Structure 1
Amino acid sequence: MEKYGQYRDKSTGIAPFFSVAPPASSPLLLPWHILLFTIRIPFLIVAWLVWLLAVQWMPAGSMFRKATQWCLLGIPGVWWIDLQVDGVRRGSLASGPKGRLPGTGTIIASSFTSPLDVLYLAAIFDPIFTLSEPKSRKVRPISLESALASCFAVPNPLELNSKVEPTELAKLTKRNPNRVIVVFPESTTGNGRGILRFSPSLLSALPNTKIYPVSLRYSPPDVVTPMPGWIEALKFIWRLNSRQTHCIRVRIGGPMSLAAPSVSTLEASPAVKSTGRSNNTVGKSYDSNFFDDFEASPSPKNNCDDGTDDEVEMNDSERRALDSVADSLARLGRVKRVGLGVQEKAEFVHAWSKRRA
């Protein structure tokens, strides 16, 4: 692997493009995994056909859309959700101040590691998904299916949606005031071990629009899809459907805005300010979760400043705003920021493909 050392972040040593190896499993369990896979696949195919032929045309937020989206998550065994929200005490989300969760007219800046990111956000928020252009402030609104396909596309998933006209987030929000907008500012998938270099697409939002950083991580962690191609898609389908359950760890940060990026528009609790973590949980929770042994320490900001889209000019205020969202996303995911992005991933995939040829 030393020959791929140039695709590690220089300051942290993190390699964000390598696939994650599956956990060790006894060969005696293989028949059980095959049985689970063969039982689930027919139900999953039926659920997708129902979605594609009928449900996707229903109004956003309707009961049938929500039910079908949850079926697409539940059939493969994604049942356990460990949810924490910054500034919310355990079990007090409903009684606390409004605005702790993304709502209509807001933007979600989400981590991007797996198709499960797309399915979970669709089931919870039924949002408008967008793809960020790596060297542009514009985004392209896409369907749920295109968002899933973009998880396996490189160098640029926008090539899958070349017929969709790019637009600014400010215009997209104005045209859809009753929807949540999801932005994947990393522009491409990583393996969850670091936050990739951000696209400047978030800078096209209105200054007062609330931006919620949302981090999603998984256990087992091998359902991430940093590598492209149909072979990786088949591996993902096998890993997703051959296990009994999967756990999603969801962390939602306090709302930010471009007008005041360094502080949340809602004050966080003292625990959040002092430790950089929230100990408040809503929904399904655990005394300890699978991810508590990960270390959280954002890497220096210059990791992301080097090579941040030379074709896009940003003033100091805009750069600070983008850094604030990236830092929050890294804190929530308990990972570090890296100075690698779409261009480096394309070069890595090319080098990896030549090795296997």
Structure 2
Amino acid sequence: MKKSLLALAVLGAFAGAAQAQSSVTIYGIVDTGVVYQSKVATGGGNTGSKFSLNSGVVQGSRIGFKGVEDLGGGLSAVFNLEAGFNNDTGGLQGSDAATSSNLFRRKSVVGLAGGFGTVLLGRQTDFADTISAYTSVADFGGWTGNVGHNLDRLEGTRTNNSISYTTNNLSGFTGNLIYGFGETAGKTSAGQSFGAGVKYDNGPLGLGLNYYQSKANGTAFSSDTALIPSSSTTASVNTLDGTAGNTAYKGWNLVGSYQFGPARVYANWSRVKQDLNTQANLTAVGVGPLDTVTNRTLARANKADVYEIGTAYSLSPSLKLLAAVEHTRAQFDGVSGKGKLTQYNIGTDYWLSKRTDLYAFLAYTKGTDMVNTGVSDSTGVDGNQAAVAVGIRHKF
């Protein structure tokens, strides 16, 4: 009897040790707000006001699972699965039929971490997502996306079939490489993508530099509104009909942030080139000559520069005042001159606890010689739009 009790105690000790060496965490965000927009396109060149209940005003609503297992010798196995959902409808998050049915469309990775850094395989965002902490994305989230961040991908590009390597922190520096396999037989470059980034953290100073490139997969034109033509990136892509393997998208991001006491100030610049957005390709898919403002959209820009400045001022540990300005200059094949988009934002963020906050945003967006993409919904024409959001976000 004593031997049996001893054996059970030993087994219990080993089980406890094994359990202590591995862990799984369930986490998530539920973010929902009431949004008002003026001059939303209603069809036929007309516009009207719109009230809506939007999920993910600041951050996309999500639920995730992440875990780590200690393999010994400083080596760990890691995984992360993250599903997005629309809190206003309860449905899976996705901008088109291809992604709305993907359970873990936000992230699905497994890999190893240790003294050498971290290697991850699966569907994951590139390093732009990491350095976005130095931009308006940290405070306004998706509220500032349509004027340029959705084009310069400051929240990262979800890349299918990818492998990434991230260094550990080296005297403030962290680097990253990512490669997405096109997985096309006989044409390695079709749908291929790759990127490289680095960030530097030193007390109040944060700097980041990132590059991302994707290549055409050769599929037909997609009518969705996303921007990056490559099957290896997020499935929400604008796959203009081009030769498989030709460069479709190239983007540079340079960002910086500095904390002056209670105030964080930041600025960034991005250069985007979409090489497949040519007159010939657009005509081939029935778009026609780009000689009217209604055809000048960011998705069809062959080159764009996106600029941003902003600040976040902490009146108290719980209350922040926010302000940011984004300005995009875009050019189009077959059109003289550049289109311009500018968005002015002010807001406040009040934390009721460490996990729950209330936010209120106000934005004014103006388009010149191109379509005004609006804060959430396009106006369909150039001109201006005002938008207001009031919402709640809970993290668990």
TM-score in terms of structure 1 length: 0.27
Task: Specify the structure having the higher radius of gyration (Cα).
Answer: 2
Higher relative contact order (CA 8 A, sep 6+): 1
Task: Using structure 2 for the length normalisation, give the TM-score.
Answer: 0.25
Higher helix share: 1
